[in-house]
Amino acid sequence: MTLHRRLITASLLCVMALSSINAQASSFWERLFGLDTYTQTQHPIVLLHGMFGFDDVLGVDYFYKVAEELSRSGAEVYTLQVSALNSTEVRGEQAARQIEDIIAASGATQVNIIGHSHGGPTARYVASVYPQMVASVSSVAGVNWGTPVADLYIESVQDTDAGPFVKAIGEAFATMISWASGGSGLPQDLDASIHDLSTDGSLAFNALYPEGMPTEYCGQGQEVGSNGVRYYSWSGTGIYTNALDPFDYLVLATSSAFDEPNDGLVAACSSHLGRVLRTDYNQNHFDEVNQSLGLTAWFGTDPLTVYRQQANRLKNAGL
């Protein structure tokens, strides 16, 4: 290499290094003084939990640290609390009433809903019935085509002599979760929840509320539905991602119900809705909401990064 080329190479390396340092410094000062607007969407972001979900219990969020992370970079974030166990329609009506309150209190005209698991179809219901309130729906491992775990439960538990006992225990647990999260009085119905998460129940729901759904299993849906709402989805296919996370051992067991890539509770293809962003994150069903307590995959994308990227995507789309 000639001296001239060496000087050019050295200069380029210096420019690259300085650019990187400058970018990191800018990010540091933006965050320090509250100037970071990476996640500052036009409309508020609303987080909507899944089955056995909650707002927060003893200071632990269902979407662990997600609201905090998005708010830090400019987003206005609200967390809903609906029945931990109930039909999609019942949960959807509960969510709609809370969104009406958010719009009235914040002065916003619409919201961006991010729903996890059963929160995905619940968000779809709100967008279908009340499209004037919803700018976008982002479905995180949404049970959009059903799950064999629900099918297996109906066959092996619900329709047996043990069904009433398990129903009573499940609903008592859901009531306790709801009470601990400040949502006392919300009705709980395990059978209705399981039905709507089953394959048959999901297909019946899709026939009534088809916006954003692919026309065939594992396909791509329309990013902008006929109701004018934008739809996005993502999910993971990790199962055993962190030996320290007790939830990993649960999904190890439930993953045996599948014969296709899944996150332990929902198949990757079942999660497809609207614009499918990605379905192969090294995340299981609990990692997707940064649980438990941030104990996610040692080698993989940080779930908080995924939420930040989606908020930025919404921002750039004018949402």
Reference 284, options 311, 261, 309; nearest CA is 261
Report d(CA 31, CA 71) in Å as an integer: 11
CB 35 within 8 A of CB 44: no
> Which structure tokens are listed for 245?
């996370």
- Which residue type is seen at 13? L
Decide if 272 is catalytic.
no
Decide if 285 is catalytic.
yes
Q: From the candidates 55, 189, 196, 263, which is the catalytic residue?
A: 263
Report d(CA 39, CA 54) in Å as an integer: 24
Reference 113, options 143, 133, 87; nearest CA is 133
Q: From the candidates 117, 202, 255, 270, which is the catalytic residue?
A: 117
Q: From the candidates 55, 61, 285, 287, which is the catalytic residue?
A: 285
CB 102 within 8 A of CB 110: no
Specify the 3-state DSSP secondary structure of 212: coil
**47 beta partners:** 79, 114
Decide if 117 is catalytic.
yes
- Which residue type is seen at 144? N
CB within 8 A of 251, min separation 6: which ones? Answer: 239, 240, 263, 264, 265, 284, 285, 286
Q: Which residues are catalytic?
A: 117, 263, 285
